[in-house]
Amino acid sequence: MTPETIATLGQLDGVEWFANVGIQDGSDTKIVLTSWKEALKSCNSLKWENLCLEAANQYRERLAERSMKRLRKWNDLVDEIKKVSIPFVQAKIATVVKEHNLPSTFEGTVQWDILHLCMECEYADVYPPGFYASQAYWYANGRFPCGWKGKFPEGKLIIY
């Protein structure tokens, strides 16, 4: 793993995830949900899943345009990163999963976000981090990014 990836995970490890879920902040730039039930429904929606998949695909397309040689290492890097990211996410979400009896789909969503954040970090020298780095911002601020309202990129992020 690159020093950037290690540093990013270190920053995320140093904060309490989900500490601010549901708290309204008066901002009209995003939609803040008020329950885990709403958040799970949103993060499991086909629209959100497709947006997250498209973001990952777009990032890989940009990598392909800039360095096919590096992109060919993608799957090997994913395998390497997962050895760290899977237990990292499991540890970070364990308390909230237990407290709220959250389903495995929740873990899957968070695992996807953090894996792709790490991949953006790994390839930051080829193409700058984007969508998943912005997702990490919300985790670092105690929130759960879980949807989008409107046509991307216009519209509003949905968080809990």
Taking CA 44 as the corner, what is the angle to CA 29 and CA 88, rounded to the nearest 5 degrees?
85
Q: Where are the domains of the chain?
A: 3-9+38-159
Range 136-153 average pLDDT? 96
Q: Per-residue pLDDT averaged across 141-154, rounded?
A: 95
Provide the pLDDT for residue 28.
Answer: 83
- pLDDT tier for residue 2 given thresholds of 50, 70 and 90: very high
Verdict on whether the full-model pTM lies above 0.85: yes
pLDDT at residue 12 in the model: 98
Tens digit of pLDDT for each residue in 21-70? 999 988 888 999 999 999 999 999 999 999 999 999 999 999 999 999 99
Per residue in 85-130, pLDDT (tens digit) is 999 999 999 999 999 999 999 999 999 999 999 999 999 999 999 9
pLDDT at 26: 82
Q: Give me the mean pLDDT over the 2-29 stretch.
A: 94
Angle separating helix axes 36-43 and 104-122, nearest 10 degrees: 60
